[in-house]
Amino acid sequence: FGSVQAVTNATLEVQPGNVTALIGPNGCGKTTLMLMLAGLLRQDAGEIRVAGADPRHDSAAVRASIGWMPDQLGSWDNLTCLQTLTLMGRGYRISKDEARARGAALLETVHLGEFADRPARVLSRGQKQRLSLARALMNDPQVLLLDEPANGLDPRSRIELRTLVRDLAAQGRAVLVSSHVLAELDEMVDDAIFMSKGRTLGDEAAAHVADAKTRYRVATLDDSLLRAALADSRVPYDDEPTGIVIRVGSDQEAAQALAWLMSKGVPVHRFGPAGSALEQTYMAMEEERR
Ligand SMILES: Nc1ncnc2c1ncn2[C@@H]1O[C@H](COP(=O)(O)OP(=O)(O)OP(=O)(O)O)[C@@H](O)[C@H]1O
């Protein structure tokens, strides 16, 4: 953008059937990248394929295959929610009746059925997000680009969003989702792409995520019993100020370690991954804020 270079060297692949997270600090270029993928910004250099089509040369095909949920919905305030979706459907050359039926069904999916005939301007921020999601689904897209979809959503809507996004991927769609709420992404994504200073971090970030997943926190009613048991075992562990963290190589090893601790009479009351793997990876990345 003039003298500002947004995104310089990003390499990523998003597989159909997967939910892939796009993670990075403010200003690292996530939105710019998504706009390029959606064919709404033209890249100066590099190759992009969306469902096989090049947004620079075949933007109609790209737009037909994409559902785009921007970080803020630009809504037409005087149109009702249903009119908004119907108009969107008409833009995709869906017949009027079908667009209305599809719009009404999607409003139910995002729990805005009762707002069908009310103008979009009366929606709260979270409700607008839900309308935005419904709008992104009007063309039954193969590829979904969701920019901060959980922004402003209440807890129940966030849980429903997670389920919906998983279902959409299970139907074979490719989903790229950006968010700063990493603990939430942990439960939703199959794969994560970390961006820093416009660059995607490949193996480096994957190694961090893999390493973070091996850390299990053990909380017991009797720390001395736990320490004694661990001292007798070959399970590697770290005695951290916030508690004891053991290292396990797999889910199976975690199960074995827990069974072993129980057999030694250690009163374990909590046992699970030590925080979000994505969060730990993010914090380990080079600090960058704009
Ligand atoms: N139209 C524009 N003109 C000039 N600079 C821009 C423009 N749009 C984005 N930028 C700059 O490009 C960089 C990347 O912005 P972008 O919006 O892609 O970041 P982001 O990773 O989505 O950030 P956030 O997490 O805050 O949403 C930023 O430094 C931003 O200031």
Show me where the domains of the chain are located.
19-201, 208-284
The Å distance, Cα 152 to ligand 1 centre, comes to 20
State the CATH architecture for 19-201.
3-Layer(aba) Sandwich (3.40)
Q: Place 137 in a pLDDT band, splitting at 50, 70 and 90.
A: very high
Give the bridge partners for 244, in sequence order: 218, 239
Contact 73, 131 (CB under 8 A): yes
**Mean pLDDT of all residues in 18-44:** 91
The Å distance, Cα 24 to ligand 1 centre, comes to 12
pLDDT in the model for residue 285: 75
pLDDT in the model for residue 242: 80
From 52-61, 114-123, 184-193, the region with the lowest mean pLDDT: 184-193
With CA atoms as reference, report the closest residue to 209 among 42, 20, 9, 3: 20
Mean pLDDT, rounded, of the chain? 89
With CA atoms as reference, report the closest residue to 168 among 128, 206, 134, 123: 134
The protein residue whose alpha carbon is closest to atom 18 in ligand 1 is: 29
* Maximum mean pLDDT: which of 6-15, 206-215, 230-239: 6-15
pLDDT in the model for residue 286: 63
Q: Which CATH number fits domain 208-284: 3.40.50.720, 3.30.565.10, 3.40.50.300, 3.30.70.100?
A: 3.30.70.100
Q: For residues 68 and 53, what is the distance between their CA atoms, to the nearest angstrom? A: 16
In ligand 1, the atom with minimum distance to the C-alpha of 4 is 5
> Which residues does 27 contact at the CB level (< 8 Å), separation at least 6?
289, 290
In ligand 1, the atom with minimum distance to the C-alpha of 25 is 25
The Å distance, Cα 4 to ligand 1 centre, comes to 9
pLDDT in the model for residue 9: 87
In ligand 1, the atom with minimum distance to the C-alpha of 24 is 21
Strands (E), 78-189: 143-147, 174-178
pLDDT in the model for residue 217: 92
Contact 105, 125 (CB under 8 A): no
pLDDT in the model for residue 290: 47
Q: For residues 19 and 48, what is the distance between their CA atoms, to the nearest angstrom? A: 19
Q: For residues 269 and 52, what is the distance between their CA atoms, to the nearest angstrom? A: 50
Q: What is the value of pTM for the model shown? A: 0.84
Is 253 a residue whose pLDDT tops 70?
yes
Number of Cβ within 10 Å of residue 112's Cβ equals: 21
Q: Place 281 in a pLDDT band, splitting at 50, 70 and 90.
A: confident
Is 204 a residue whose pLDDT tops 80?
no
**Bridging pattern class, strands 19-23 and 191-196:** parallel
pLDDT in the model for residue 84: 95
Which residues surround ligand 1 with Cβ inside 6 Å?
A: 1, 4, 6, 24, 26-32, 290
